[in-house]
């Protein structure tokens, strides 16, 4: 059935529903990421000692029932509710992904329909559920916590990519026009953003956010004592419980400094990317957005250090990371579409010449 055109009110209505669901997915995923960070910042990641319920129940029980279920993990009601709110919102996101698959099933064989993106989204959301369980059962092991954050950002990116593909599908653009390949500069920008996001997750999961006092120096020094091997020992097993972190001070300083160096490199590449492609009108809003968001992120990062990581400021810093992912994805999308416009322009010129 490849090549079948989209016809009928039912199909048009279905695509409209899919566009709405994918947009809702972008917003809900952003909320899930921020609620997850809030859960971590208030030390509620182990508010419920089991998974998927809380002390064996789907809602937070009273202290007596909690004690009977897990006598070694006394109930802290506020933290338990924070953790369960995170799970409820994440579960709603999973249901939304299933709804997208069901609604798009009949359209999967139409040329240009992004069925593969929808399936990839389901696979990633299932992996996210597994990482959510491991976060609890492995007692906030930093490797799992960091992967859980990156998984959430991957879900966000897939929702946005799905929405953009659905918009193109709804517009009837089912042609096989060429798409521009990513240049090394685009690839470098994407790689450095991924590494910086991972470093941010590593800083958070190892509680290294205020390992350095002061900025631009760290603890009064430009290059303080650091333990890089321990700070980035990815197979570390220093448990059994990672709440508040287990690494010594020099290892945490190394993590914080690594995050600062990564931010500097990312900023230089984003600035280079913006200067290089500023001449393309369709890219200009997104490139300008990237530089602007990065500047705000830099300010928020410095403020977090100087103000000792207040909750609201840490949440804003995470929101900035989400905005960077969305903005760079949009810039990549419009870059790749540029080849199609060039191809169409060449065809028009050839037709006029004939």
| pLDDT score recorded for residue 240 | 74
Q: 226 near 250, Cβ under 8 Å?
A: yes
What CA–CA distance (Å, rounded) separates 174 from 166? 11
Q: 135 near 144, Cβ under 8 Å?
A: yes
Residue 180 tokens read as 């521009």
- Identify the burial level of 348 via C-beta atoms within 10 angstroms of its C-beta, where 0-12 means exposed, 13-18 middle and 19 or more buried: exposed
- Identify the burial level of 267 via C-beta atoms within 10 angstroms of its C-beta, where 0-12 means exposed, 13-18 middle and 19 or more buried: middle
| 216: preceding bond cis by omega (within 30 degrees) | yes
Residue 342 tokens read as 């060039």
Residue 265: φ, ψ to 5°: -65, -45
173: left (phi over 0), alpha (psi -120 to 50) or beta: beta
**Length in residues, the chain:** 354
| pLDDT score recorded for residue 243 | 87
What CA–CA distance (Å, rounded) separates 146 from 156? 16
| pLDDT score recorded for residue 238 | 62
Percent helix, strand, coil in the chain, to 5, is 70, 0, 30
Give the single-character DSSP code of 264: H
Distance between first and last Cα of the chain: 34
Secondary structure class of 140 (helix, strand, coil) = coil
**Rounded-to-10 torsion of CA 107, 109, 114, 120:** 100
| pLDDT score recorded for residue 338 | 80
Q: C-alpha distances in angstroms, 298 versus 188, 206, 226?
A: 19, 21, 22
Q: C-alpha distances in angstroms, 308 versus 273, 280, 304?
A: 33, 41, 6
| pLDDT score recorded for residue 164 | 96
On the CB side of 280, CA atoms within 13 Å amount to: 19
What CA–CA distance (Å, rounded) separates 25 from 31? 10
| pLDDT score recorded for residue 8 | 62
| pLDDT score recorded for residue 241 | 84
Smallest CA-to-CA distance from 117 within 179, 172, 176, 167 is with 167
224: left (phi over 0), alpha (psi -120 to 50) or beta: beta
- Show which residues are catalytic: 83
List CB contacts of 321: < 8 A, sequence separation 6 or more.
153, 197, 200, 297
Q: 151 near 208, Cβ under 8 Å?
A: no
Smallest CA-to-CA distance from 320 within 203, 214, 200 is with 200
| pLDDT score recorded for residue 177 | 62
Secondary structure class of 54 (helix, strand, coil) = strand
Smallest CA-to-CA distance from 115 within 157, 166, 160 is with 166
What CA–CA distance (Å, rounded) separates 265 from 189? 9
Whole-prediction pTM: 0.91
List the pLDDT tens digit at each of the 354 positions of the chain. 444 444 567 788 899 999 999 999 999 999 999 999 999 999 999 999 999 999 999 999 999 999 999 999 999 999 999 999 999 999 999 999 999 999 999 999 898 899 999 999 999 999 999 999 999 999 999 999 999 999 999 999 999 999 999 999 998 865 556 689 999 999 999 999 999 999 999 999 999 999 999 999 999 999 999 999 999 998 877 667 888 888 999 999 999 999 999 999 999 999 999 999 999 999 999 999 999 999 999 999 999 999 999 999 999 999 999 999 999 999 999 999 885 444 443 443 333 343
């Amino acid at each position: 059935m490849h090549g079948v055109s989209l016809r009928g009110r039912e199909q048009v209505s279905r695509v409209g529903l899919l566009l709405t669901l994918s947009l809702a997915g972008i917003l809900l995923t952003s909320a899930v990421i921020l609620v997850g960070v809030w859960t971590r910042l208030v030390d509620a990641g182990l508010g419920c000692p089991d998974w998927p319920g809380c002390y064996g129940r789907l809602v937070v029980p009273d202290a007596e029932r909690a004690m009977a279920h897990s006598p070694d993990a006394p109930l802290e009601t506020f933290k338990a509710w924070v953790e369960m709110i995170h799970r409820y919102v994440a579960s709603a996101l999973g249901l939304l992904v299933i709804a997208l698959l069901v609604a798009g099933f009949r359209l999967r064989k139409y040329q240009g329909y992004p069925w593969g993106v929808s399936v990839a989204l389901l696979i990633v959301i299932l992996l996210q559920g597994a990482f959510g369980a491991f976060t609890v059962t492995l007692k906030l092991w930093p490797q799992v916590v960091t992967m859980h954050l990156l998984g959430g950002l991957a879900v966000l990116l897939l929702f946005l990519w799905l929405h953009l593909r659905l918009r193109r599908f709804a517009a009837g653009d089912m042609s096989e026009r060429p798409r521009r390949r990513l240049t090394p500069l685009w690839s470098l920008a994407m790689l450095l953003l991924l590494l910086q996001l991972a470093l941010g997750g590593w800083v958070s999961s190892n509680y290294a956010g205020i390992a350095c006092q002061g900025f631009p120096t760290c603890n009064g020094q430009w290059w303080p004592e650091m333990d890089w091997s321990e700070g980035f020992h990815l197979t570390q097993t220093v448990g059994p419980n990672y709440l508040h972190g287990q690494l010594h001070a020099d290892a945490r300083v190394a993590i914080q400094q690594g995050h600062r160096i990564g931010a500097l490199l990312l900023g230089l590449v984003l600035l280079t990317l913006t200067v290089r492609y500023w001449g393309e009108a369709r890219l200009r809003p997104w490139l300008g957005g990237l530089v602007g968001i990065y500047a705000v992120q830099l300010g928020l990062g410095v403020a977090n250090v100087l103000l000792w990581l207040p909750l609201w400021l840490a949440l804003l810093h995470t929101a900035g990371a989400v905005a960077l992912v969305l903005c760079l994805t949009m810039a990549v999308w419009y870059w790749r579409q540029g080849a199609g416009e060039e191809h169409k322009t060449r065809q028009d010129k050839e037709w006029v010449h004939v």
